């Protein structure tokens, strides 16, 4: 009986070893991409407890494989967003540039009508916010850089709530509890505006069909202690601004929360959402070295909390309001080069209103010909970078063979950090303006170049 038992035990061990050898071959197939993870799991389940530890170890490998696959798919989505935004940025910014030029001219004529002037200024500010939104999308797709400045959050959040309030139905009550402390951070106003706008918009969508619906926006100082930092890895101990948006809406299922900030993830109906809003929130908060936290109960509502690090007292600076006063010229001749006729027409009118004489060209070849004719009269060139029939960079190279010290301001509707073709030969007298720029900014840039 003992010999028979040992023989049977040896046979079982042999079967285990044969299964293990077979499994190793199939693992190699997985590495080569020939076997699916679920098939490997099935094979592991067929083995006895003699290889349980190997099964558990390989389960970790499978999870890592799936995580890498998700990261790859997300990278592809991000690339798609960048391609889409980069494609529309040029035309969109060109349209806004032409609109801003015309708004400036209308404002000049409406100085005696304060109410009309206020409406025109509002349109102008909205157009610039549209351009900032494009820049934010480019940033989200990792195709642009973000400019950080000292921002006093409390007054800015109060102002932003007032702007957003008009887009929310009146049956939804918006309450706010904003601290009177300034809570200064190093931030980007456009991104913070978009964060709050997206969170309030999501809260509004969650309130569909809810009686006595409300949204509460809170802002207060928060101290992240050791326990809090331990709970959220990557966060540093110290003082933060805590911005929260709370609603009493439908709430979010637990299995959806982990996917909320993924690009293109949405639970809304087709045509009701893009799945980019919360992904943009996450990207903006990451840029500010902050944290996003979500608490939600299905049927009761959600709270989205944003933690942004506060500036130390010695880092904080007072915000200097921008003085919107245009600098004027003294009859100097400017060559304006752009392939968009609306920009040429409105730009010529604006420059003439500022006191300059203007020559126009619709592409690089025309610019070279015009400059050759008027080289002794032209003091400065405003050159579009991307045009048919010779782009701006090549055109300036040819022009500088005629007059090496000619002063140039480049302009572009693309994002100037990531979409410029080749290297722009910027000398001490060369700058780049991104469209749309306001007239005051343009006028001061021109004056600075001419006065060098």
Residue 128: per-residue pLDDT = 72
Whole-number pLDDT of residue 378: 95
Q: What is the pLDDT of residues 25-56, one digit of tens each?
A: 554 554 444 545 555 555 545 444 444 455 55
pLDDT at site 57: 59
Q: What is the pLDDT of residues 305-343, one digit of tens each?
A: 999 999 976 455 555 444 457 788 899 999 999 998 988
Q: What is the DSSP letter of 334?
A: E
Dihedrals φ, ψ of 134, to 5°? -60, -40
Q: What pLDDT score was predicted for residue 362?
A: 93
Q: Give the count of alpha carbons within 13 A of 179, CB side only.
A: 15
CA distance 410 to 385: 6
Domains of the chain: 150-309 (3.30.565.10), 333-450 (3.40.50.2300)
Sort 313 into a burial class: Cβ within 10 Å, 0-12 / 13-18 / 19+: exposed
Distance CA 395, CA 376 (A): 18
Residue 80 tokens read as 């798609």
Distances in Å between the Cα of 75 and the Cα atoms of 63, 188, 266 are 18, 25, 18
| pLDDT < 70: residue spans in the chain | 1-64, 67, 70-87, 132-133, 135-146, 263-277, 313-324, 414-430
Cα 65 to Cα 78: distance, rounded to the nearest angstrom? 20
Residue 218: which of 190, 246, 197 has the closest Cα? 246
pTM for the complete prediction? Answer: 0.52
Neighbouring C-beta atoms of residue 192, cutoff 10 Å? 22
The closest alpha carbon to 275, from 286, 288, 259, belongs to 259
Q: What is the pLDDT of residues 343-361, one digit of tens each?
A: 899 899 999 999 999 999 9
Rounded to the nearest 5 percent, the helix, strand and coil shares of the chain are: 50, 20, 30
Omega cis (within 30) before 216: no
**First-to-final CA distance of the chain:** 106
């Amino acid at each position: 009986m003992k010999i028979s038992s040992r023989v049977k035990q040896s046979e079982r061990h042999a079967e285990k070893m044969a299964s293990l050898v077979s499994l190793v071959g199939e693992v190699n197939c997985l590495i080569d991409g020939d076997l699916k993870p679920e098939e490997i799991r099935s094979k592991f389940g067929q083995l006895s407890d003699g290889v349980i530890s190997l099964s558990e170890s390989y389960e970790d490998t499978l999870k890592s494989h799936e995580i890498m696959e998700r990261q790859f798919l997300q990278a592809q989505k991000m690339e798609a967003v960048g391609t889409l935004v980069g494609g529309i940025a040029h035309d969109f910014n060109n349209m806004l540039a032409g609109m801003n030029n015309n708004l400036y001219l209308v404002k000049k004529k409406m100085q005696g009508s304060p109410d009309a002037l206020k409406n025109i200024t509002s349109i102008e500010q909205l157009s610039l916010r549209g351009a900032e939104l494009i820049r934010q999308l480019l940033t989200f797709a990792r195709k642009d850089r973000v400019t950080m400045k000292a921002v006093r959050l409390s007054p800015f959040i109060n102002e932003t709530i007032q702007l957003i309030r008009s887009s929310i139905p009146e049956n939804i009550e918006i309450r706010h509890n904003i601290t009177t402390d300034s809570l200064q951070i190093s931030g980007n106003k456009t991104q913070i505006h978009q964060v709050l706008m997206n969170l309030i918009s999501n809260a509004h969508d969650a309130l569909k069909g809810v009686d006595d619906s409300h949204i509460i926006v809170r802002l207060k100082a928060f101290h992240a202690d050791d326990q809090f930092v331990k709970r959220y890895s990557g966060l540093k101990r110290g003082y933060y601004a805590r911005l929260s948006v709370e609603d009493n809406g439908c709430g979010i299922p637990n299995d959806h929360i982990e996917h909320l900030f993924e690009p293109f993830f949405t639970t809304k109906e087709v045509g009701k959402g893009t799945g980019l809003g919360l992904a943009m929130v996450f990207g903006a908060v990451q840029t500010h070295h902050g944290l996003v936290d979500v608490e939600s109960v299905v049927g009761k509502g959600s709270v989205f909390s944003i933690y942004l690090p506060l500036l130390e007292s010695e880092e904080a600076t007072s915000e200097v309001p921008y003085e919107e006063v245009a600098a004027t010229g003294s009859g100097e001749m400017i060559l304006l080069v752009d392939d968009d006729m609306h920009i040429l027409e409105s730009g010529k009118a604006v420059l003439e209103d500022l006191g300059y004489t203007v020559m126009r060209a619709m592409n690089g070849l025309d610019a070279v010909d015009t400059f050759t004719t008027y080289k002794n009269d032209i003091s400065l060139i405003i050159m579009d970078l991307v045009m048919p029939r010779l782009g701006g960079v090549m055109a300036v190279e040819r022009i500088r063979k005629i007059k090496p010290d000619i002063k140039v301001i480049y302009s572009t509707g693309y994002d100037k950090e990531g979409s410029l073709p080749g290297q722009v030969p910027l000398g001490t007298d060369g700058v780049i303006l991104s469209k749309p720029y306001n007239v005051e900014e343009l006028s001061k840039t021109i004056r600075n170049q001419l006065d060098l």
